[in-house]
Amino acid sequence: MNEEAGKRVHEKSRALQSRAELLFPGGVNSPVRAFRSVGGEPPFVAKAQGAYLFDADGNRYLDYFGSWGPMILGHAFAPVVEAIQKAAVDSSSFGASTAAEGDLAELVMSCYPAIERLRFVSSGTEATMSAIRLARAATGRKRIVKFEGCYHGHSDGLLVKAGSGVATLGIPGSAGVPEEIAALTMALPYNDLAAVEAAFAAHPDEIAAVILEPVVGNAGCIAPAEGYLEGLRRITAERGALLIVDEVMTGFRLALGGALERFCLDADLVTLGKIIGGGLPCGAFGGKLRFMEMLAPLGPVYQAGTLSGNPLAMAAGMATVGYLKEHAARVYPYLEKTAAAVADGVAAEAAAAGIAVTTNRVGSMWTWFFTGEPVADYEQAAKSDTKAFGRFHRAMLEAGVWLPPSQFEAMFLGTAHGEAEVAATLEAARGAFAMF
Ligand code: KE4
């Protein structure tokens, strides 16, 4: 660790930030990285190993965002690194069919019985955008239902009261999205089945699909209420709309078969990303055969991608998902136990300091909301004290613990986080709360 008299130095990161602001809007290639909602200056990462990030000035940080989900096995996990290196010597892209795509698809489909056919893309945004187009074609309907606080990537029709990024920036949708397109998307309160029933009653035979995060991560972590997911499955089936379960964040995170396995849920279409690429750009969408065979070149729905099924992403995904499948019996209970130790331990430190925090956790994703009230939807999450979260974030960062830079994001940990990391996190939190 690089320190002067107990203070961390950040001169290299500051210099890199100055240059970045002459190159990228806000100095970043994705808004949340700019730390706008938590304050302070984002360190520039130079490398990472296991549970740790190292910045350009040599400072070490415990990583609790894990590239926003993909790094479930820790950074530079040897089997993943070796798989990428091995694939790279045979070229990084072909733009032609490969065995590797089939290998990863078979592995993914062995974990997701709901997926009868699959299509790889290069991001979660592409996956959800494509699934929506498919649902509209399959039903001949135009309207979409999403939920406030859920984020499904930045395609026009889904930037309507979205969560991650937009919620953090306080933008209720996004400039540049035509109102005609936004008007086709209804953003309903999460965990409210009556609102969904009312939407279908108001627009009978017009709603193509309901898309949701089965466990919300983009408003901070919000769990589905008892019976909620089953209710959505029932209503959409009754009303002839598709249920699109966006597992970009929860896939392979909450269980080997994601939320569909954890909550015994069926879906018409599923979207995946993050972990499926082992940290390389990769997304996927898939589901029932009768819908997927509408995709070009078989059917009338066009969807394409230069780097779809990229061989390096396939190799990293195979190494990651393959390891998770082989060791699932050990990995998922471990992640559950370790995440509970961190989430509940920090909550106990807050309580001891007299600070109101609500902890929502499902598996190894969680959020500490700075509020004394329960958080079951975005409206309740938005009542959190984001300034307090900002103070907490800055204090933890200075103590070497890098939390996601937003109250409206989920924390993640992976198999590289152990007892030492848990203890260091609780100690850092104790110190942070002492400064409140
Ligand atoms: P990407 O296009 O960023 O690969 O995926 C979009 C997406 C879709 N669905 C869900 C449930 C997601 O969480 C995401 C992306 N998540 C955010 C973080 N919460 C990505 C981080 C960022 O935007 O920089």
* pLDDT of residue 171 exceeding 60: no
Q: pLDDT (tens digit, 9 = 90+) per residue, 284-296?
A: 999 999 999 999 9
Burial class (CB in 10 A: 0-12, 13-18, 19+), 181: middle
Q: Examine the residue annotation and report whether 302 is marked as an active-site residue of this protein.
A: no
- Measuring from each residue's beta carbon to the nearest atom of ligand 1, which residues come in under 6 Å? 30, 32, 68, 123-125, 128, 151-153, 164-165, 213, 217-218, 246, 248-249, 273, 283, 409
Q: What percent of the chain has pLDDT over 90?
A: 92
Tally Cβ neighbours within 10 Å of residue 81: 15
What mean pLDDT is predicted for residues 18-33? 97
What mean pLDDT is predicted for residues 412-434? 98
* pLDDT of residue 233 exceeding 50: yes
Element (H, E) at 232: helix 228-239
- CATH T-level assignment (fold) for domain 78-326: Aspartate Aminotransferase; domain 2 (3.40.640)
- For position 106, what pLDDT does the model report? 98
Q: Which structure tokens are listed for 360?
A: 């929502």
Q: What is the DSSP letter of 227?
A: T
- For position 170, what pLDDT does the model report? 30
| Best of 29, 248, 285, 310 for a ligand 1 pocket test (most atoms within 8 Å of beta carbon) | 248
- For position 311, what pLDDT does the model report? 98
Q: Which residue's alpha carbon is at the smallest distance from atom 20 of ligand 1? A: 68
- For position 395, what pLDDT does the model report? 97
Q: Which structure tokens are listed for 83?
A: 């798989």
* pLDDT of residue 112 exceeding 90: yes
Q: pLDDT (tens digit, 9 = 90+) per residue, 304-325?
A: 999 999 999 999 999 999 999 9
Q: Which structure tokens are listed for 368?
A: 């500490």
- For position 386, what pLDDT does the model report? 97
End-to-end CA distance of the chain: 25
Tell me where in the chain the CATH 3.90.1150.10 domain(s) lie: 3-64+330-434
> Hey, what's the torsion of the CAs at 311, 287, 219, 172, to 10 degrees?
100
* pLDDT of residue 67 exceeding 70: yes
Q: pLDDT (tens digit, 9 = 90+) per residue, 327-372?
A: 999 999 999 999 999 999 999 999 999 999 999 999 999 999 999 9
Tell me where in the chain the CATH 3.40.640.10 domain(s) lie: 78-326
What does pLDDT average to over the chain? 95
173: pLDDT confidence band, cut at 50, 70 and 90? confident
165: pLDDT confidence band, cut at 50, 70 and 90? very low
Question: Of residues 274, 288, 323, 332, which has the active-site annotation?
Answer: 274
Q: pLDDT (tens digit, 9 = 90+) per residue, 247-301?
A: 999 999 999 999 999 999 999 999 999 999 999 999 999 999 999 999 999 999 9
Cα R_g (the chain), whole angstroms: 21
Q: What number of CA atoms fall less than 13 Å from residue 21's CA on the CB side?
A: 9
- The pTM for the full model equals 0.96
Domain at 3-64+330-434: CATH code? 3.90.1150.10
Q: What percent of the chain has pLDDT over 70?
A: 96
What mean pLDDT is predicted for residues 377-400? 97
Q: Which residue's alpha carbon is at the smallest distance from atom 13 of ligand 1? A: 249
* pLDDT of residue 3 exceeding 60: no
* pLDDT of residue 4 exceeding 70: no
- For position 6, what pLDDT does the model report? 61
